[in-house]
Structure 1
Amino acid sequence: MNQNTNVLLLRGATLWLLMALCLAWCLVFLKFDLTLIKLIFPGKFTRVLQAHLDFLLMSALLFGFYAAKVPLPAPVRWCMVVGAFTNSSLFMLQAMFPSLDSPTPAEGFFPGVFRVYLLASLLITSYGFGRAAVVVLLSTFRDLPDGQAG
Protein backbone atom coordinates (compact mmCIF):
# COMPACT_ATOMS: atom_id res chain seq x y z
CA MET A 1 0.00 0.00 0.00
CA ASN A 2 1.21 3.50 -0.72
CA GLN A 3 0.28 6.82 0.87
CA ASN A 4 -2.44 7.39 -1.74
CA THR A 5 -4.53 4.74 0.03
CA ASN A 6 -5.05 7.30 2.80
CA VAL A 7 -6.31 10.05 0.47
CA LEU A 8 -9.80 9.58 1.95
CA LEU A 9 -8.44 11.04 5.21
CA LEU A 10 -7.24 14.12 3.35
CA ARG A 11 -10.60 14.55 1.61
CA GLY A 12 -12.51 14.14 4.86
CA ALA A 13 -10.21 16.54 6.71
CA THR A 14 -10.68 19.25 4.11
CA LEU A 15 -14.47 18.82 4.07
CA TRP A 16 -14.73 18.97 7.86
CA LEU A 17 -12.40 21.99 7.93
CA LEU A 18 -14.75 23.75 5.49
CA MET A 19 -17.65 22.80 7.79
CA ALA A 20 -15.78 24.36 10.73
CA LEU A 21 -15.29 27.55 8.71
CA CYS A 22 -19.02 27.69 7.90
CA LEU A 23 -19.82 27.24 11.58
CA ALA A 24 -17.35 30.02 12.45
CA TRP A 25 -19.37 32.38 10.25
CA CYS A 26 -22.58 31.10 11.85
CA LEU A 27 -21.11 31.98 15.25
CA VAL A 28 -20.36 35.51 14.03
CA PHE A 29 -23.88 35.86 12.64
CA LEU A 30 -25.37 34.54 15.88
CA LYS A 31 -23.46 37.22 17.80
CA PHE A 32 -24.90 39.82 15.40
CA ASP A 33 -28.40 38.41 16.10
CA LEU A 34 -29.05 37.52 12.46
CA THR A 35 -32.61 36.15 12.43
CA LEU A 36 -32.08 33.48 9.76
CA ILE A 37 -29.16 31.90 11.65
CA LYS A 38 -31.07 32.09 14.93
CA LEU A 39 -33.90 30.18 13.24
CA ILE A 40 -31.43 27.49 12.13
CA PHE A 41 -29.72 27.32 15.54
CA PRO A 42 -32.36 28.13 18.19
CA GLY A 43 -30.45 26.15 20.83
CA LYS A 44 -27.44 27.10 22.89
CA PHE A 45 -24.71 29.22 21.33
CA THR A 46 -22.17 27.00 23.12
CA ARG A 47 -23.35 23.94 21.16
CA VAL A 48 -22.56 25.68 17.86
CA LEU A 49 -19.17 26.61 19.30
CA GLN A 50 -18.58 23.00 20.38
CA ALA A 51 -19.51 21.75 16.90
CA HIS A 52 -17.10 24.27 15.36
CA LEU A 53 -14.25 23.24 17.67
CA ASP A 54 -14.95 19.54 17.23
CA PHE A 55 -14.88 19.81 13.43
CA LEU A 56 -11.52 21.63 13.76
CA LEU A 57 -10.19 18.95 16.11
CA MET A 58 -11.34 16.09 13.91
CA SER A 59 -9.85 17.77 10.84
CA ALA A 60 -6.53 18.12 12.64
CA LEU A 61 -6.60 14.44 13.63
CA LEU A 62 -7.34 13.34 10.08
CA PHE A 63 -4.59 15.60 8.69
CA GLY A 64 -2.22 14.18 11.30
CA PHE A 65 -2.93 10.55 10.48
CA TYR A 66 -2.57 11.33 6.79
CA ALA A 67 0.77 13.05 7.47
CA ALA A 68 2.01 10.03 9.42
CA LYS A 69 2.16 8.18 6.07
CA VAL A 70 1.21 4.85 7.59
CA PRO A 71 -1.21 2.97 5.32
CA LEU A 72 -4.47 2.21 7.11
CA PRO A 73 -7.06 -0.45 6.23
CA ALA A 74 -10.07 0.85 4.27
CA PRO A 75 -12.65 0.16 7.04
CA VAL A 76 -10.51 2.13 9.49
CA ARG A 77 -10.20 5.09 7.11
CA TRP A 78 -13.95 5.13 6.50
CA CYS A 79 -14.76 4.89 10.23
CA MET A 80 -12.40 7.78 10.92
CA VAL A 81 -13.92 10.07 8.29
CA VAL A 82 -17.55 9.15 8.99
CA GLY A 83 -16.98 9.22 12.74
CA ALA A 84 -15.29 12.62 12.55
CA PHE A 85 -18.44 14.01 10.92
CA THR A 86 -21.04 12.23 13.05
CA ASN A 87 -19.24 13.00 16.31
CA SER A 88 -19.01 16.72 15.51
CA SER A 89 -22.54 16.86 14.15
CA LEU A 90 -23.97 15.74 17.50
CA PHE A 91 -23.35 19.24 18.90
CA MET A 92 -24.80 20.80 15.76
CA LEU A 93 -27.99 18.74 16.11
CA GLN A 94 -28.34 19.84 19.73
CA ALA A 95 -28.00 23.48 18.62
CA MET A 96 -30.59 22.95 15.89
CA PHE A 97 -33.03 20.96 18.02
CA PRO A 98 -32.86 22.18 21.65
CA SER A 99 -35.13 19.37 22.86
CA LEU A 100 -32.19 17.00 22.27
CA ASP A 101 -30.10 19.03 24.72
CA SER A 102 -32.11 18.53 27.89
CA PRO A 103 -30.72 17.01 31.11
CA THR A 104 -33.40 14.33 31.01
CA PRO A 105 -33.67 12.35 27.75
CA ALA A 106 -36.62 13.52 25.67
CA GLU A 107 -39.19 10.93 24.65
CA GLY A 108 -40.36 10.20 21.14
CA PHE A 109 -39.15 8.91 17.82
CA PHE A 110 -36.69 11.70 16.91
CA PRO A 111 -34.92 11.73 20.32
CA GLY A 112 -34.70 7.93 20.10
CA VAL A 113 -33.09 8.14 16.66
CA PHE A 114 -30.70 10.76 18.05
CA ARG A 115 -29.61 8.39 20.85
CA VAL A 116 -28.96 5.58 18.35
CA TYR A 117 -27.03 8.05 16.14
CA LEU A 118 -25.01 9.16 19.20
CA LEU A 119 -24.10 5.60 20.20
CA ALA A 120 -23.28 4.59 16.62
CA SER A 121 -21.12 7.69 16.27
CA LEU A 122 -19.20 6.92 19.46
CA LEU A 123 -18.58 3.33 18.36
CA ILE A 124 -17.53 4.20 14.80
CA THR A 125 -15.29 7.07 15.90
CA SER A 126 -13.67 5.06 18.71
CA TYR A 127 -13.02 2.07 16.46
CA GLY A 128 -11.63 4.17 13.59
CA PHE A 129 -9.29 6.40 15.57
CA GLY A 130 -8.42 3.72 18.12
CA ARG A 131 -7.46 1.14 15.53
CA ALA A 132 -5.58 3.76 13.50
CA ALA A 133 -3.58 4.70 16.60
CA VAL A 134 -2.68 1.04 17.17
CA VAL A 135 -1.65 0.57 13.51
CA VAL A 136 0.55 3.68 13.63
CA LEU A 137 2.06 2.64 16.97
CA LEU A 138 2.86 -0.85 15.70
CA SER A 139 4.43 0.63 12.56
CA THR A 140 6.96 2.44 14.72
CA PHE A 141 8.33 -0.89 15.96
CA ARG A 142 8.55 -2.44 12.49
CA ASP A 143 10.42 0.54 11.04
CA LEU A 144 13.26 0.54 13.59
CA PRO A 145 16.68 -0.53 12.30
CA ASP A 146 17.99 -3.81 13.76
CA GLY A 147 19.32 -3.51 17.28
CA GLN A 148 17.68 -0.15 17.97
CA ALA A 149 14.95 0.23 20.56
CA GLY A 150 12.83 3.40 20.65
Structure 2
Amino acid sequence: MDVLTRIGLVELAFGAVLGWAVAATMITPQLVERAGVRKPRRILQAHLDYVIMGIILIAVGLAVPGLPTWLAAAIVVGTWLNPTLFLPLAWSPRAATRTWFQVLSVVSFTLTSGGLVGAAVVGLVR
Protein backbone atom coordinates (compact mmCIF):
# COMPACT_ATOMS: atom_id res chain seq x y z
CA MET A 1 0.00 0.00 0.00
CA ASP A 2 1.32 3.44 -0.93
CA VAL A 3 2.49 5.68 1.93
CA LEU A 4 -0.03 8.39 0.95
CA THR A 5 -2.85 5.86 1.31
CA ARG A 6 -1.54 4.74 4.72
CA ILE A 7 -1.28 8.31 5.99
CA GLY A 8 -4.76 9.01 4.60
CA LEU A 9 -6.16 6.09 6.59
CA VAL A 10 -4.57 7.50 9.75
CA GLU A 11 -6.03 10.94 9.06
CA LEU A 12 -9.44 9.46 8.32
CA ALA A 13 -9.31 7.51 11.60
CA PHE A 14 -8.24 10.64 13.50
CA GLY A 15 -11.18 12.53 12.02
CA ALA A 16 -13.52 9.73 13.02
CA VAL A 17 -12.24 9.74 16.61
CA LEU A 18 -12.57 13.53 16.72
CA GLY A 19 -16.27 12.89 16.18
CA TRP A 20 -16.42 12.05 19.89
CA ALA A 21 -15.39 15.62 20.67
CA VAL A 22 -18.14 16.82 18.36
CA ALA A 23 -20.63 14.64 20.25
CA ALA A 24 -19.35 16.08 23.52
CA THR A 25 -20.08 19.60 22.30
CA MET A 26 -23.72 18.58 21.85
CA ILE A 27 -24.20 16.24 24.81
CA THR A 28 -22.13 17.98 27.49
CA PRO A 29 -21.62 21.56 26.30
CA GLN A 30 -20.84 22.71 29.85
CA LEU A 31 -17.85 20.33 30.00
CA VAL A 32 -16.55 21.60 26.66
CA GLU A 33 -17.02 25.17 27.82
CA ARG A 34 -15.07 24.42 31.02
CA ALA A 35 -12.24 23.13 28.79
CA GLY A 36 -12.06 26.64 27.35
CA VAL A 37 -13.73 25.97 24.01
CA ARG A 38 -15.43 29.18 22.91
CA LYS A 39 -16.53 28.10 19.42
CA PRO A 40 -17.50 24.38 19.46
CA ARG A 41 -18.54 24.55 15.80
CA ARG A 42 -14.85 24.78 14.88
CA ILE A 43 -14.35 21.29 16.29
CA LEU A 44 -17.07 20.05 13.93
CA GLN A 45 -15.30 21.81 11.05
CA ALA A 46 -12.01 20.16 11.98
CA HIS A 47 -13.68 16.75 12.28
CA LEU A 48 -15.25 17.02 8.82
CA ASP A 49 -12.08 18.41 7.25
CA TYR A 50 -9.87 15.64 8.70
CA VAL A 51 -12.28 13.07 7.25
CA ILE A 52 -12.36 14.80 3.86
CA MET A 53 -8.60 15.30 3.71
CA GLY A 54 -8.03 11.68 4.74
CA ILE A 55 -10.23 10.53 1.88
CA ILE A 56 -8.33 12.82 -0.49
CA LEU A 57 -5.02 11.27 0.59
CA ILE A 58 -6.40 7.76 0.14
CA ALA A 59 -7.76 8.62 -3.30
CA VAL A 60 -4.52 10.23 -4.48
CA GLY A 61 -2.44 7.37 -3.06
CA LEU A 62 -4.56 4.84 -4.93
CA ALA A 63 -4.90 6.84 -8.15
CA VAL A 64 -1.29 7.98 -8.44
CA PRO A 65 0.91 5.63 -6.41
CA GLY A 66 4.60 6.36 -6.19
CA LEU A 67 4.42 10.15 -6.36
CA PRO A 68 7.78 11.89 -6.01
CA THR A 69 8.56 12.21 -2.30
CA TRP A 70 8.60 16.01 -2.31
CA LEU A 71 5.16 16.13 -3.90
CA ALA A 72 3.68 13.54 -1.55
CA ALA A 73 5.17 15.42 1.41
CA ALA A 74 3.60 18.69 0.27
CA ILE A 75 0.20 17.04 -0.01
CA VAL A 76 0.49 15.32 3.38
CA VAL A 77 1.59 18.47 5.22
CA GLY A 78 -1.12 20.55 3.56
CA THR A 79 -3.92 18.06 4.17
CA TRP A 80 -3.01 17.71 7.84
CA LEU A 81 -2.43 21.40 8.43
CA ASN A 82 -5.71 22.53 6.83
CA PRO A 83 -8.05 20.86 9.35
CA THR A 84 -5.67 21.45 12.25
CA LEU A 85 -6.03 25.20 11.73
CA PHE A 86 -9.68 24.98 12.81
CA LEU A 87 -8.68 23.84 16.29
CA PRO A 88 -7.00 27.02 17.60
CA LEU A 89 -10.11 28.88 16.44
CA ALA A 90 -12.24 26.75 18.78
CA TRP A 91 -10.37 28.17 21.78
CA SER A 92 -9.47 31.58 20.43
CA PRO A 93 -11.53 32.95 17.55
CA ARG A 94 -9.13 35.89 17.32
CA ALA A 95 -6.32 33.51 16.32
CA ALA A 96 -7.35 34.15 12.71
CA THR A 97 -6.09 37.72 13.05
CA ARG A 98 -2.63 36.63 14.18
CA THR A 99 0.28 36.65 11.75
CA TRP A 100 1.35 33.08 12.59
CA PHE A 101 -2.15 31.82 11.77
CA GLN A 102 -2.35 33.72 8.50
CA VAL A 103 1.10 32.52 7.40
CA LEU A 104 0.26 28.91 8.24
CA SER A 105 -3.03 29.23 6.36
CA VAL A 106 -1.28 30.44 3.21
CA VAL A 107 1.33 27.69 3.52
CA SER A 108 -1.37 25.08 4.07
CA PHE A 109 -3.51 26.14 1.13
CA THR A 110 -0.45 26.44 -1.12
CA LEU A 111 0.84 22.97 -0.23
CA THR A 112 -2.58 21.36 -0.60
CA SER A 113 -3.67 23.01 -3.83
CA GLY A 114 -0.22 23.01 -5.41
CA GLY A 115 0.43 19.43 -4.35
CA LEU A 116 -2.89 18.18 -5.69
CA VAL A 117 -2.39 19.99 -9.00
CA GLY A 118 1.07 18.40 -9.16
CA ALA A 119 -0.41 14.97 -8.47
CA ALA A 120 -2.96 15.50 -11.24
CA VAL A 121 -0.19 16.42 -13.68
CA VAL A 122 1.88 13.38 -12.68
CA GLY A 123 -1.18 11.16 -13.01
CA LEU A 124 -2.04 12.52 -16.45
CA VAL A 125 1.52 12.27 -17.77
CA ARG A 126 2.01 8.65 -16.70
Output the TM-score relative to the length of structure 2.
0.86
From 117, 120, 123, the equivalent of 1:130 is 117
Considering only aligned residues, what root-mean-square deviation do their CA atoms show, in Å?
1.9
Map 1:110-121 onto structure 2 (within 5 A). Answer: 111-121=98-108
Is the contact between residue 42 and residue 98 of structure 1 (CA under 8 Å) also seen in structure 2? no
Partner of 2:10: 15
Work out the percentage of aligned pairs sharing the same amino acid: 30
Provide structure 2 residue ranges, at least 5 long, that are not aligned to the other structure: none
From 28, 31, 51, the equivalent of 1:33 is 28
| Residues 82-114 of structure 1, C-alpha deviations (whole Å, 9 max, x = no match) | 11100111112211322225xxx3xxxxx1111
From 38, 51, 60, the equivalent of 2:55 is 60
Greater shift in the superposed pair: 8-17 or 112-121: 8-17
Give the structure with higher Rg (CA). Answer: 1
Structure 1 moving runs of 4+ over 3 Å? 34-41
The count of residues paired between Structure 1 and Structure 2 equals 126
Provide structure 1 residue ranges, at least 5 long, that are not aligned to the other structure: 106-110, 140-150
From 86, 90, 96, the equivalent of 1:95 is 90
Structure 2 CA distance for aligned equivalents of residues 52 and 97 of structure 1: 17
Structure 2 CA distance for aligned equivalents of residues 69 and 9 of structure 1: 9
Is the contact between residue 9 and residue 77 of structure 1 (CA under 8 Å) also seen in structure 2? yes
Structure 1 CA distance for aligned equivalents of residues 93 and 55 of structure 2: 28
